[in-house]
């Protein structure tokens, strides 16, 4: 049970970081345009 909780938390954190990266990329592309 503990392992699944840790992996779920890691997956959640990873998806959150991916969203932040996408938001940054979007900001950069909008500035260039």
* Predicted local distance difference test score (pLDDT) of residue 1: 83
Structural domains counted in the chain? 1
Q: How far apart are alpha carbons 21 and 5 in whole angstroms?
A: 24
Residue bearing tokens 């959640």: 12
Q: Is the pTM of this model over 0.85?
A: no
CA dihedral 26, 21, 16, 23 (to 10 degrees): -20
Q: How far apart are CA 11 and CA 13, in angstroms?
A: 5
Expressed as residue numbers, the domain containing 10 is 1-33
Cα separation, 30 vs 10, in Å, equals 30
pLDDT on residue 33: 77
- Type and span of the H or E element at 9: helix 2-32
What are the pLDDT digits (tens) for 1-33? 899 999 999 999 999 999 999 999 999 999 987
């Amino acid at each position: 049970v503990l392992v699944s909780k840790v992996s779920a938390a890691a997956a959640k954190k990873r998806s959150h970081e991916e969203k932040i990266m996408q938001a940054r990329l979007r900001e950069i592309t909008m500035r260039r345009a």
